[in-house]
Amino acid sequence: MTDGAEFEKPAYFITTPIYYVNDNPHIGHVYTTLACDVLARFMRLDGRRVIFLTGTDEHGQKVERSAQAQGMAPQAFTDRMSQNFRELSASWQFSNDDFIRTTEARHVRSAQALWQRLKDNGQIYLGAYAGWYAVRDEAFYSEDELTRGEDGQMYAPSGAVADWVEEPSYFFRLSEWQDRLLDLYQRNPDFIGPEARRNEVISFVKSGLRDLSISRTTFSWGIPVPDDPDHIMYVWLDALTNYITAVGYPETESELFRAFWPADLHMVGKDILRFHAIYWPAFLMAAGVEPPKRVYAHGWWTNEGQKISKSLGNVIDPYDIIEQYGLDQVRYFMLREVPFGNDGDFSHRAIVGRINNDLANDFGNLGQRVLSMIHKNCEGAVPEPGRLMAADEALLNSSAALLDRVRASLSTQSFHTALEAIWEVVGEANRYMEHTAPWILRKTDRARMRTVLYVAAEVIRRLAILTQPFMPNGPAQLLDQMDQPRDERTFADLEQRLQPGRAIPKPKGVFPRYVEAEEQKA
């Protein structure tokens, strides 16, 4: 994040859910954070001041039990597990500006301040809870949401065991917010995405909301309720507050809070949409704080057509896949393969197809052959172009129009359509090369050859700048090979043309083909 004085465009605040530390990071955590990383990188390149927040959710009965099972104190357990998520962010080159932990003093202060505001506004009362609670989900369920297994146990829709719980509890007056939530959704049709998830939430709220139990007394690992330390705050009220903690709550008049709140986007998995699209805006409005601008719920991944689970032994390790396929390659595949918001299948055949066809053959080969021809035939420097013909102008115009197309797609979290738009121009550039055939012009019309190679190089420069948010390495290497200064790689620099005379050394391939182990042995 940079000082706001440098920026003319609105600030941009994007968040992942904070990840529960009772288990190691998996592909689902990666998917959510990757989507946020692309948006954060895009907005920075687009001249916006950005906070990209991620972190860990460290309280609750599930964490307390996991720590006990490891023979550890909860704080020591969360220290170790939270570090796993930091290391994952580093290995995937996520560019988060802040990493928040709910055990931090700044967060405890913020969560207790929100509680006090809700209490002062008459939104909290003391009662007793009797109902079904799933520790694994840290969620309360009504009986009509549960199913009874053959073992007689009650199960939540997620498959988690639900137990009957009776204890004193503070309640939030959620029932009073039903109409105001429906009004929020109606006034802000983009508040929840995608459309199918929005409809689910509206249907749930219309079916009736009951007051929500927001404290527990049967365990102690959590944030104490102000003025009543026998109670700890319900883990979801605690966890959701992280989003305002990071921008300085309860200092709502601070420059940081005023610049970045309400958040532009909370990115979540579809399994936790209810907490973010119902409970969270209700808590905020009840405390006199604006709700976020948008909540988007993405889908889940399967592995070779099967649901991912430990029992099946098909868990996708986030470190193994980037070791096997490459970081840029996996990032590209995960955002290109399926419409974001839908469920997707992670298959070896599909990712190899994307690597070899889209990246190696289409984009990588385009850059390699154009830069190689410039190096060999133009004295190792960007050539001076001559008069542009219709084909040249058409390709340049297509590449110039890309930024608006990509910006529009990403404004609705449509990553696959953004990449499809970019690859349309990759394909157009390859067809341009075949049509103009500079390898023939080298013998018949060297002036025209130089113009063709200049146009192709300029389009490659634009493509590399636009693909930076998706892939942090390959596009940067392409720009290095074109002698593009590091401080001239933002979207504002798309308005300038490639400078003739810049050195083009002998290029190296940036997107190698994936070769199966059997082929390597052969």
Q: Please give the model's pTM, rounded to 2 decimal places.
A: 0.93
Which of 161-170, 222-231, 355-364 is predicted with the least confidence, judged by mean pLDDT? 161-170
Domain extent listing, the chain: 348-495
Q: How many CA atoms lie within 13 A of 78 on its CB side?
A: 23
Long-range contacts of 399-407 (CB under 8 A, 24+ apart): 399/425, 399/429, 399/458, 399/459, 399/462, 399/463, 400/462, 400/494, 402/462, 402/463, 402/466, 403/466, 403/491, 403/494, 406/42, 406/466, 407/42, 407/46
Closest CA to 243 of 120, 58, 107, 116: 107
Confidence (pLDDT) at 474? 98
Confidence (pLDDT) at 235? 85
pLDDT in tens, 24-40: 888 889 999 999 999 99
**Sorting pLDDT into bands at 50, 70 and 90, what band is 2?**
very low
CA-to-CA separations, 459 to 366, 395, 446, in angstroms, rounded? 10, 8, 20
**Sorting pLDDT into bands at 50, 70 and 90, what band is 6?**
low
> How many whole angstroms separate alpha carbon 462 and alpha carbon 233?
50
126 pLDDT more than 80: yes
> How many whole angstroms separate alpha carbon 302 and alpha carbon 334?
12
For helices 327-336 and 318-325, the axis angle rounded to 10 degrees is 110
pLDDT in tens, 482-496: 999 999 999 999 999
Average pLDDT of the residues in 192-216: 96
Residue with tokens 């995960």: 334
**Sorting pLDDT into bands at 50, 70 and 90, what band is 360?**
very high
Average pLDDT of the residues in 171-177: 97
pLDDT in tens, 235-274: 889 999 999 999 999 999 999 999 999 999 999 999 999 9
CB distance 500 to 381 below 8 Å = yes
Closest CA to 415 of 466, 474, 345: 466
> How many whole angstroms separate alpha carbon 307 and alpha carbon 28?
12
Task: Tell me if residue 237 falls in helix, strand or coil.
Answer: helix
Average pLDDT of the residues in 223-241: 94
Which of 37-41, 199-203, 218-222 is predicted with the least confidence, judged by mean pLDDT? 218-222
Mean pLDDT, all residues of the chain? 94
> Which token pair is 495?
């308005």
Report which secondary-structure segment, H or E, holds 463: helix 446-467
**Sorting pLDDT into bands at 50, 70 and 90, what band is 309?**
low
Task: Tell me if residue 79 falls in helix, strand or coil.
Answer: helix
For helices 74-91 and 27-45, the axis angle rounded to 10 degrees is 60
CA-to-CA separations, 471 to 39, 251, 324, 416, 488, in angstroms, rounded? 12, 37, 16, 14, 18
Confidence (pLDDT) at 292? 98
Q: Is the peptide bond before 194 cis (omega within 30 degrees of 0)?
A: yes
Average pLDDT of the residues in 66-80: 94
Q: Find the farthest-apart pair of alpha carbons in the chain and give their distance in angstroms, rounded.
A: 89
Q: What is the identity of the amino acid at 286?
A: A
Pairing of β 139-141 and β 98-101: unpaired
**Sorting pLDDT into bands at 50, 70 and 90, what band is 519?**
low
Report which secondary-structure segment, H or E, holds 406: helix 402-411
High-pLDDT (> 90) share of the chain, %: 81
High-pLDDT (> 70) share of the chain, %: 97
Residue with tokens 């700048």: 465
Confidence (pLDDT) at 137? 82
CB distance 263 to 15 below 8 Å = yes
Q: In what order do the strands lie in the sheet with 306-307?
A: 306-307, 301-303, 344-346
**Those residues with Cβ within 8 angstroms of residue 49's Cβ, 6 or more apart along the chain or in another chain:** 1, 2, 4, 6, 7, 9, 11, 12, 259
Closest CA to 288 of 254, 317, 261: 261
Pairing of β 344-346 and β 301-303: parallel
Average pLDDT of the residues in 54-59: 96
Closest CA to 21 of 112, 102, 90, 97: 102
Torsion angle of C-alpha atoms 429, 432, 438, 440, degrees rounded to 10: 140
**Sorting pLDDT into bands at 50, 70 and 90, what band is 7?**
low
CB distance 46 to 10 below 8 Å = no
Confidence (pLDDT) at 131? 82
Residue with tokens 């359509």: 417
Confidence (pLDDT) at 518? 63
Confidence (pLDDT) at 47? 97
3 pLDDT more than 50: no
**Sorting pLDDT into bands at 50, 70 and 90, what band is 5?**
very low
DSSP state, residue 370:
H
Average pLDDT of the residues in 329-355: 93
> How many whole angstroms separate alpha carbon 493 and alpha carbon 462?
9
Name 155's bridge partners. 147, 161
CATH number attached to the domain at 348-495: 1.10.730.10
